[in-house]
Amino acid sequence: MNYITGIFAALLSLLLLFMYPLYEQARSQDKIANLVVQAAVTRFVDSARTKGYITPQMYETFNAQLAATGNPYEVRLEHLRKRYVPEYGDPADPSTFKNRFTAFYDGFYNEQILAVLFPNPISSADDPARRYDMQVGDYIGIKLENVNRTAAVQLWDFLMNDNTDENATVALNYEGMVLNEDR
C-alpha cells in the first residue's frame, strides 16, 4: 500500500512541479500570439480603411507580423463593395423611376483580392495595377484563425487525456467601413 501511495505522490509532484507550469507558459504564449495578431489585423484593416486600397507591401508586412507568432493562419479577406440600383415601377420603362435607390453589396474574397495584389506574371511591387482599390462606404474585413495545434492545446489534451479537435486558439474577426479614397 505504501508503494502505491509513493508512486501516486511522485506522479502528483511531477504534475504539479513540471507539467502545470509548462502548460501555463504555453497558454501565455497563446495569449501573446493573440495580442500580436490582434494588433497586426487592426493595423492592416484600419490602414486599408483610411487609405481606400491595399498594396502588396501592406499585405506582405501583415503576413510577416503574423509569422512572428510562429503559428500558421488561415486568413480570409472580405471586401463588400457598395453599389446603388435605381428603383423602377416597370424596369423596361425609364419614365417609371421612383426617385429611390436600393443599396446592395457585392462580395469579393481572397481569390479576387489576391489576384489583383499578386497577378501572374508579377509586375513590379509599386505598379499601380497591383493596388486593390476600394470606395468610401465599402466594407473591408478579415477573418483569421490559426490552423495548427498549439503547445497549450497539446499539453491540455495530454493532462486531461482528451483529444480536442479544436485547433483555433487564436481567432479574430475584424472589419470596418472604408473612410477615404487616397488615389
Domain ranges of the chain: 2-177
pLDDT of residue 183: 67
Tell me the sheet residues that pair with 82: 105
Please state the pTM of the whole predicted model: 0.81
148 burial class (0-12, 13-18, 19+ CB within 10 angstroms)?
middle
Mean pLDDT, 10 residues at a time, over the chain (183 residues)? Answer: 80 75 84 92 96 95 94 94 90 88 93 92 81 94 89 74 71 92 76
Residue from 172, 78, 182 nearest 136 by CA: 182
User: What proportion of the chain, given as a percentage, has pLDDT over 70?
Assistant: 95
pLDDT at 152: 79
pLDDT at res. 95: 87
Q: Locate 36 and state its grid cell.
A: 500580436
Q: Which helix (H) or strand (E) holds 159?
A: helix 151-160
CA-closest candidate to residue 41, choices 19, 63, 68: 63
Give dist(CA 101, CA 64) in Å, integer: 42
Grid cell digits, residue 157: 489534451
15-51 pLDDT tens trace: 777 777 888 888 888 888 999 999 999 999 999 999 9
Give residue 10's pLDDT.
Answer: 82
| pLDDT at residue 167 in the model | 65
- What's the pLDDT score for residue 41? 96
